[in-house]
Amino acid sequence: MPPDNPLPDPPPAPAPRVLVVDDEASVRLGCVLALRSDGWDATGEGSSRAALERLTTRAEHYDVLVLDYAMPGLNGLELIAALDPKTRPPILLASAHADGAVACAALKLGVWDFLAKPLMPEELRRRVRRLLTRRHDAKAPGAWLARALGHCQNCAWDDALRELDTWPESERQQPAYLVTGLIHQMTEGQEPAAAAFKRAQWWPGWETQGAEIWQELARRLG
Amino acid sequence: MRRWNFISGLTVILLLLLVLCGFCVWTARTLSGEINQMISGNFDTLRALRGIRLAVSRIDAQYRSSTSTGEIPRALGLYELARTDVEQHLRLVRRTSSEEPEEVKVVARLEALVRDYFTYYDEYLALGRFEGDRFKALTRNLAQSAAEITEATAVLSDMNERDVLQRRSQATAKGQRVVYAALGIALFSIGIYVWTSIRLTRAIFDPLRQLRDSIVKVSQRQFDVAVPVKSGDELAQIATTFNTMASELRAYVAETDQRVVEANRVSRAILEALPYPIYIVDDSFAVRLMNPRAEQLSAALEIPGAVPGAVRRAIDDAAAIGGELIGDDLHRAVEVALPAATGTPATFLPQVFRMAGAAGVNEGWAVLLIDVTKLRQFDLAKSKALSIIGHEVKTPVTSIRMTLHLLLEEKIGALTADQRELVQAGRDDCERLLTVLQALLELARFESGRVTMRLVPVPPGDLLAQADAMHGDYLRRLGVAIVMEPTAPTLPAVQADAIHVVRVLGNFLTNAAKYGAPDQPVTLRAELRADAFVRLSVRNRTPRPLTEAEQTKVFEPFYRREGEGSEGTGLGLTICREIAAAHSGRVGVWASGDWVDFYLDLRIVSVSQNHAAGQPTS
């Protein structure tokens, strides 16, 4: 016999919210549908200015932003620059053609996650999931890299470097050196950047390589 | 004339010598005859006179001195013999004596004395005894006759000896005269010789000296010289020939000068008419010649009369590969930033020609700067248009693809079997279209130079191993084995961006698997080339050997062999060629029989680069 007064099911946790900003309606719709089918609360926005209004004026909350780079009006980077780095959600930048200048500017804006177009539903889901997971992981002890990347996302470079420095040398994983090198390179610390890149076995052609930097970051960060 | 002088001079000398020889022979013969006659005559006379004296002495000793027996010896044999002997000697004296009157007189007296002597002796021998008056008278007469005969022979002997002395004096005097005559003739011959020599020396060496001076002048390019022709001998012929030669040379040089001037004029006209700058420089980049366009360019760059850096760099590149730098590869185009006031930047494609001297020594460089500004703009515009069009097409295609993938996931709704089949077909077409689009866009990026290589020293064996690791499974699934030939440990490292090189090798490998003979392995190998390249090659057998024409076309965009399907983009090998060009390397294919060999040549790392290993190169 079933209990008379069974405990009610806990209220379902709200699905993470994702804002997809792409001026291509079909791509936008595909992304939204792909994420919704994975349990995300995905919203599409076709205009970067409208997206900016949602995020600032209307102060809508999103857990992850998926932005297209090439858009009329404000492009993806300009939209990011208009957001407060300390309060904005993690961003996944998608583009069909990312050159070195774009990669460099994006990294300086704290955008360290890039998705090359054409998008595949499963890859999109995986990358968005990773962003969210990293945020959760950052709370766990020993997740120095996740916390450092969180600081990078907020453009808090000194905090990111400090976080990486607290990582015991003996346990430090190789991607840490790549992240350290990139931060030094952005903050004009060329010599420590070179030393870190050497340890990471990476020789970036800064300002010339775009997709390669993104791919290497994505590969090393998992 | 010179020959006549020479021959006449020699003939005179020869005649004089002959005369001298003849005179000497005649003199010697005359003197020897006279001396012989004199000596033999006088000697015979003297011997005969001595014989007379001896015979007379023997007779006296035999018949007059021995008086012991008291009787005159009766044996007259000795007497008769001595008498015959005296008479023979007397005849000889008469025959050999000279005809000097005094000597003739003494000889006549000697004959008379001999005759008297033997008259007395006949009577004396007839006496038989050494006694009586008659004996005494005959003895006195005989003693006196003997003494007179001795005296006469002595006189004749003196005369003959004097004659000998006189003839010797004569011979001596004659000999001296002959010596003086010979000396005179010899001196005369020497004079003739000296005179002839001087004449000949002047006749031969003066023209030779003139000829030499003229040759020196010709060698100094002074062709308006002429050697005087004074006679008709060999030297004159040489002078005539030389004058003819100098004249022809003068005409030839004038003609050549004319041609050079003409060629120079044409060259200058071409240089001036050419719409492109041309710099002709020596090894140290000093300008030897530049056309007006080049002068304008240098002036615009505010370096009048000097060579722009782009030209120096092009020459440096040509020198590095030890040859010329020509061709229409726009990757080599260089942009020259003109001052803002002058105009927009210009893009030039340098063509560098090496100017080799006669001995093959480099004497400088000619650099033609083909203005490819518009071509480059068109090329960039083409790439940009291709890129834009590609993106414009690609964007909807990618969204269609994403839509089809989403539908096939069936997370947003289930499909019927027919619907799934239709959507799958649409997705496959979409994938293929997207692949071609991506390849086209990538090719456009390569052509526009927007793809940079991260060149680092890599051992060739590592590249082959990476290619095997990345593509081996795919080939093995198709039933094709990869045979990797061991690489020599001495094989030098190459400058390579491993990702792109492995991509090229992967393209070769998948082509080998697709088009090669089934169940035949594919060979991967690396070998050192003589021209500072390492060749990475993929070799396999094919059931359809590549023809010569096909070998030249396989790297062209969208080239497909007749009878082949339309799988693939048709751009894979073209992108391989672009990757090779971005490495400053080359790709190619060899086919021999049913063997086909696709290769990628990469530059080896120089010693200096080895020292800097680990530093990236873009």
CB pairs under 8 A between A and B: 66
Mean pLDDT value across residues B247-273 = 85
DSSP 3-state of A117: coil
Q: How long a stretch of residues is chain A?
A: 222
Chain B nearest C-alpha distance from A5 (Å): 36
Residue (of B433, B436, B456, B453) closest to B444 by Cα position? B436
DSSP 3-state of A21: strand
User: What's the whole-number average pLDDT of chain B?
Assistant: 83
Chain B nearest C-alpha distance from A7 (Å): 32
Interchain proximity B391–A121, CB inside 8 Å: no
Which residues in chain B touch residue A118, judged by CB atoms under 8 angstroms apart? Answer: 394, 397-398, 401-402, 434
Mean pLDDT value across residues B378-384 = 78
Which pLDDT score, from 0 to 100, does residue A210 have?
57
- The 3-state secondary structure of B409-452 reads HCCCCCCCHHHHHHHHHHHHHHHHHHHHHHHHHHHHHHHCCCCC
H-run or E-run covering B397: helix B373-409
CA distance B79 to B60: 9
Residue (of A47, A46, A69, A50) closest to A60 by Cα position? A50
Chain A nearest C-alpha distance from B616 (Å): 6
Angstrom distances, CA of residue B331 to CA of B297, B456, B498, B559: 22, 21, 21, 22
What part of A 149-188 touches B (C-beta under 8 Å)? none
CATH 3.40.50.300 fits A17-134, yes or no: no
pLDDT higher than threshold 90 for residue B536: yes
The confidence band for B612, taking pLDDT boundaries of 50, 70 and 90, is very low
CA distance A220 to A215: 8
Tens digit of pLDDT for each residue in B33-71? 877 777 777 788 888 888 888 888 888 887 776 656 667
Residue (of A130, A84, A27) closest to A45 by Cα position? A27
pLDDT higher than threshold 50 for residue B614: no
Q: How long a stretch of residues is chain B?
A: 618
What is the crossing angle of helices A100-108 and A174-186, to 10°?
A: 90
Interchain proximity A33–B387, CB inside 8 Å: no
| Cβ-based neighbour number of residue B99 at 10 Å | 6
Interface test with A, best of B388, B389, B391, B398 (most A CBs within 10 A): B398
Q: Nearest residue of A to residue B497 by CA position?
A: A203
Which pLDDT score, from 0 to 100, does residue B563 have?
67
H-run or E-run covering A114: strand A114-116
| Cβ-based neighbour number of residue B513 at 10 Å | 21
| Cβ-based neighbour number of residue B366 at 10 Å | 17
The position carrying tokens 């080998």 is B512
Interchain proximity B406–A30, CB inside 8 Å: yes
Residue B365 dihedral angles phi and psi, to the nearest 5° = -140, 145
Tens digit of pLDDT for each residue in A9-28? 666 678 899 999 999 888 89
Tens digit of pLDDT for each residue in A106-147? 888 988 888 887 788 899 999 999 888 888 888 887 788 888
Which residues in chain A touch residue B406, judged by CB atoms under 8 angstroms apart? Answer: 30, 33-34, 37, 121
Structure tokens at B495: 């400058």
Taking the CA atoms of A206, A208, A210 and A213 in sequence, report the sign of the dihedral they define. negative
Angstrom distances, CA of residue B549 to CA of A118, B267, B328, B558: 38, 39, 22, 15
Which residues in chain B touch residue A120, judged by CB atoms under 8 angstroms apart? Answer: 402, 405
| CB nearest to B402's CB, from A27, A36, A198 | A27
Q: What is the gyration radius of the CA atoms in chain A, in angstroms?
A: 19
CA distance B458 to B583: 13
pLDDT higher than threshold 60 for residue A67: yes
DSSP classification of residue B99: -
Tens digit of pLDDT for each residue in B500-518? 898 899 999 999 988 888 8
Mean pLDDT value across residues B92-98 = 83
Report whether B588 contacts B570 (CB < 8 A): no
Chain B nearest C-alpha distance from A166 (Å): 29
Q: Between residues B245 and A81, which one has the greater pLDDT?
A: A81
Beta-sheet strands, E only, within B387-502: 456-458, 482-484, 494-496
Q: Give domain A139-221's CATH number out of 1.20.1440.230, 1.25.40.10, 1.20.950.20, 3.10.580.10.
A: 1.25.40.10
Which residues in chain A touch residue B397, judged by CB atoms under 8 angstroms apart? Answer: 118
Instruction: Give domain limits for chain A.
Output: 17-134, 139-221
H-run or E-run covering A94: strand A91-95
Residue B156 dihedral angles phi and psi, to the nearest 5° = -65, -40
Residue (of B260, B258, B251) closest to B224 by Cα position? B251
Report whether B278 contacts B369 (CB < 8 A): yes
CA distance B224 to B209: 17
Q: Where are the alpha helices (DSSP H) in B64-131?
A: 77-96, 101-127
Residue A115 dihedral angles phi and psi, to the nearest 5° = -130, 125
Cβ burial of B426 (10 Å; 0-12, 13-18, 19+) is: middle
Which pLDDT score, from 0 to 100, does residue B613 have?
41
The confidence band for B618, taking pLDDT boundaries of 50, 70 and 90, is very low
